[in-house]
Structure 1
Amino acid sequence: MAPKIFIEPPTFLGEDPSIPAEEKAKKRFSVKGKHAVITGGAGGLGVDSAFAMFEHELEGVLLIDQNDEGLNKAKDRLQKVYPNKKIVTRAVDVTSPEEVFAAAEFASQTLGSIDIVLSFAGVGGKTVKDEIESMSKIVDINLKGTYLVTRAFGNKMVKQGKGGAIVMAASLAGHEVCVPASPNAYGASKAAVLSMRMNFASEFGRYGIRVNSVSPSYMESPMISDLKGTEFNKKWNQKSPFGRFGARGEICGPVLLLVSDAGSFINGSDIGIDGGMSPRL
């Protein structure tokens, strides 16, 4: 049997002239009533994205990470601002098929539906020595983990039959050589994510599930906190058209575009969030 093809556009396109323009614009980026899953949910980019989606009426979220303490802190921060929203956490090793597929089942039962998945779990090596020692870990988490999360949660979304949106965390390093850094294992893992995004977009697109990615450069987050003020930071700023790392929250706009009806015809694409670095490298 041929898969069901979703071809109907969303209803925000202006058919009803009685709806005020401001309301149409708000609806376009709304995720009202939807539920999200975020891996790397204890990290800065994951938490920032959760805040942004709650601002746009997200109903609930499952935060996934290996860091229990970080998950608890993230949940407390979100619940303090959004006390009436459903915020659930689960410690998961994204490199374990058993744990990831169990988490997908848990999400389906706990949230009721899985509408949005942000696959943001990732690690890197800050020096060549670090990278050599941790290459397997880098590839396992960044590539295998992204695959398992997309496969497990994507399969659940297919069964739901409602479509949805998946956003993978790629990187500027997956496109370019990030001088003065040379993150070989990290860059290779993210280049593979970019390829995987296109294949999943083709596979899941026929079920109304859009699969895209974002490619940040260095963004302020706990992952790179020890780089601030270093010689590397200064050299990077000299090359950057904006003269700085990305700020907290600057990932939120692209993510909202990709998970809302505003991005309803975007599938298999990547959005660079790098302040103009990619044309200069």
Structure 2
Amino acid sequence: MTTTFPEKRTAVITGAGAPRGIGRHVARTLATAGWDIAALDIDAESVRQFADELAAETGRTVVGIGVDIADKDSVESAFEVIDRELPPVLAEVNLAGIASPHTIFELDDETFDRVMAVNAKGTLFMMQAAATRMIEAGTGGRIVNTSSITAFDGGGTFSKTGYAAAKAAVLGLTRGGARELGKHAITCNAIVPGPIDTDIMGGKLTDDRKAGMSADIPLQRVGQPQEVAGLIKFLVSEDSSFVNGDSVFIDGGKHMV
């Protein structure tokens, strides 16, 4: 069934605290499009400051919440705040993640467990909390997860095996979520970014690093966070109601399926 979204609705966005991350661009784009925002990040101070700034800028209700998405109790506590202070959750965007530059022989148990916990288990916990509320409200909804081109090519100039494994797991979570939640008019899709100009790849990209990363991209450049935000804006909209279980590449043509 198709769904018409109510005027008052909330988008939950993880990873919204980093000044040079994608999350802030997504939050700003969706707030401008009429969504109220729950901005989540492990850096509570940064995300709360950003929430105050975005609320003043857009006139929307924006709540900043500190959360460790790898901790199920922390996720549930965050949603209790959302339930109390914001309209119903109709969109949930999983952008929080950590990279891993370790090769297969450098990858110890502790590092691998943390990479999987944040990128994969954290995605699962957020999906569970958001979908539960969407089903209870009977509103339908949108879930957008963040995988990576690394899940397909096994690693790049920075993130390697552990990150590739975690981001491949995100694709499985997305497809399973799409199959199980579709009957509730909840779509679940993944974005698959190539190199994007953020700090996740070991800090701010220099011109030399950008040139190296874009050498095999047909558009001959790295992507910008606002371009990812534009794609997510579509995927959480009513217009995307028949897009489900997909892996949407945003990589300038680096990986063509």
Q: Please name the residue that 2:249 is paired with.
A: 272
Residues 61-90 of structure 1: per-residue CA shift (max 9 Å, x gap): 1111111232134224413421x2111011
Secondary structure at 1:240 match in 2: coil
- Following TM superposition, the consecutive aligned residue runs of length 4 or more in structure 1 with deviations greater than 6 angstroms are none
Q: Please name the residue that 2:195 is paired with.
A: 218
The one-letter amino acid paired with 1:41 is: A
Alignment length, in residue pairs?
Answer: 253
Shift of 1:112: 2.9
Gaps of at least 5 residues in structure 2 are none
Q: Following the alignment from structure 2 to structure 1, what is the Cα–Cα distance between the partners of residues 243 and 161?
A: 29
Secondary structure at 1:226 match in 2: coil
Shift of 1:230: 6.8
Q: Following the alignment from structure 1 to structure 2, what is the Cα–Cα distance between the partners of residues 74 and 108?
A: 20
Q: Following the alignment from structure 2 to structure 1, what is the Cα–Cα distance between the partners of residues 151 and 6?
A: 29
Change (3 A) 1:211 1:110: same
Shift of 1:257: 1.3
Secondary structure at 1:116 match in 2: strand
Within 5 A, what are the aligned runs for 1:21-100? 32-43=7-18, 44-58=21-35, 60-82=36-58, 84-100=59-75
Q: Is the 1:146–1:193 Cα contact (8 Å) retained in structure 2?
A: yes
Change (3 A) 1:130 1:114: farther
Residues 74-114 of structure 1: per-residue CA shift (max 9 Å, x gap): 224413421x2111011111111111122222212211311
Gaps of at least 5 residues in structure 1 are 1-6, 12-29
Shift of 1:115: 0.8
Shift of 1:262: 1.0
The one-letter amino acid paired with 1:176 is: D
Q: Following the alignment from structure 2 to structure 1, what is the Cα–Cα distance between the partners of residues 207 and 87?
A: 46
Change (3 A) 1:135 1:193: same
Change (3 A) 1:151 1:39: same
The one-letter amino acid paired with 1:264 is: S
Change (3 A) 1:130 1:40: farther
Residues 29-51 of structure 1: per-residue CA shift (max 9 Å, x gap): x9843211111121321111111
Q: Is the 1:104–1:156 Cα contact (8 Å) retained in structure 2?
A: no
Q: Following the alignment from structure 1 to structure 2, what is the Cα–Cα distance between the partners of residues 251 and 165?
A: 16
Secondary structure at 2:221 match in 1: coil
Which of these two proteins has the greater Rg computed from alpha carbons? Answer: 1
Q: Following the alignment from structure 1 to structure 2, what is the Cα–Cα distance between the partners of residues 170 and 221?
A: 15
Residues 129-175 of structure 1: per-residue CA shift (max 9 Å, x gap): 87546222111100010011101121111111111111011111112
Q: Please name the residue that 1:26 is paired with.
A: none
| Identical-residue share of aligned pairs (%) | 26
State the TM-score, normalized to the length of structure 1. 0.82
Instruction: Provide the alpha-carbon RMSD of the alignment.
Output: 2.3
